[in-house]
Structure 1
Amino acid sequence: MAPSFLDGNSLFNFVVRDGNGVKGMVDFGLSEVPEQYVQPPEERIDKLNASTHDNPPIDLSKLDGPQHDQIVEEIARAAETLGFFQVMNHGVAVELLESLKDAANNFFGQPPEKKAVYRKGVSPSPSVKYGTSFVPDKEKALEWKDYISMTYTTDAEALEYWPQECKDVALEYLRTSIKMVRKVVEILIGKLGVTLDDSRIDGLIGSKLVNMNFYPTCPNPELTVGVGRHSDMGMLTVLLQDDIGGLYVKMEEEMDGKRQGDWVEIPAVPGALVINVGDTLQILSNGRYKSAEHRVRTTSTKSRVSIPIFAIPKPTERIGPLPQLVERDGVARYREFIFEEYMNNFFSNAHDGKKSLDFANNI
Structure 2
Amino acid sequence: MTLNADETTMQMEEAPSYAQSIPVPNVQEMVKKEPLQVPQRYVRSQEEMNKTIDLSHLSSEIPVIDFSLLSCGNKEELLKLDTACKDWGFFQLVNHGVPKEVLQRMKDSAAEFFELPIEEKNKVAMPSNDIQGYGQAYVVSNDQTLDWSDALIDIIEAYSSEVKRVGVELLSSLSMIMGMQKHELLDMHKELVQGFRVNYYPPCSSPDQVLGLSPHSDASTITVLMQDDDVSGLEIRHKGGWVPVNPIPDALVVNVGDVIEIWSNGRYKSIEHRAVTNKNKGRFSYASFLDPRDDVEVEPLDHMVDDQRPKIYRRVRYGDYLRQSMNMKMNGKAHVDVAKIN
TM bucket normalised to smaller: 0.7 to 0.9
Amino acid at match of 2:30: M
Check the 8 A contact 2:53/2:241 in 1, yes or no: no
Are positions 1:303 and 2:289 aligned together?
A: no
Output the aligned Cα RMSD: 2.4
Aligned to 1:58: 65
Q: How far, CA to CA, are the matches of 2:137 and 2:131 in structure 1?
A: 18
Partner of 1:34: 39
Structure 1 segment 1-363 matched on structure 2, within 5 A:
17=23, 21-44=26-49, 46=51, 49-51=54-56, 52-55=58-61, 57-63=64-70, 68-121=74-127, 128-132=132-136, 134-135=138-139, 137=141, 140-151=144-155, 171-195=157-181, 197=183, 201=187, 203=189, 206-242=192-228, 243-251=230-238, 260-327=239-306, 329=308, 331-363=310-342
Structure 2 residue runs without a partner (length 5+)? 1-21
Amino acid at match of 1:38: V
Checking the alignment, whether the CA contact within 8 Å between 1:43 and 1:228 is kept in structure 2 is no
Q: Classify 1:278/1:330 alpha carbon distance in 2 versus 1 (closer, same or farther; 3 Å).
A: closer
**Rounded Cα–Cα distance in structure 2 between residues aligned with 1:361 and 1:275:** 24
Instruction: For structure 1, list consecutive stretches of 5 or more residues without a partner in the other structure.
Output: 1-15, 153-170, 252-259
Secondary structure at the aligned position of 1:353 is classed as: coil
CA distance in 1, matches of 2:210, 2:285: 18
CA contact (8 A) 2:191 2:293 kept: yes
Using the TM superposition, give the Cα deviation of residue 30 of structure 1 relative to its aligned residue in structure 2, in angstroms: 2.8
**Superposition deviation, residue 329 in structure 1:** 4.8
CA distance in 2, matches of 1:94, 1:174: 14
Query: What is the TM-score with the length of structure 1 in the denominator?
Result: 0.81
Give the letter aligned to residue 273 of structure 1: L
* Structure-2 separation of matches of 1:200 and 1:217: 40
Of Structure 1 and Structure 2, the greater helix share is in 1
Matched with 1:7 is: none
CA distance in structure 1 between the aligned counterparts of 2:141 and 2:112, rounded to whole angstroms: 28
Q: How big is the shift at 1:45?
A: 5.3
Cα offset, 1:172, TM superposition: 2.3
* TM-score normalized by the length of structure 2: 0.86
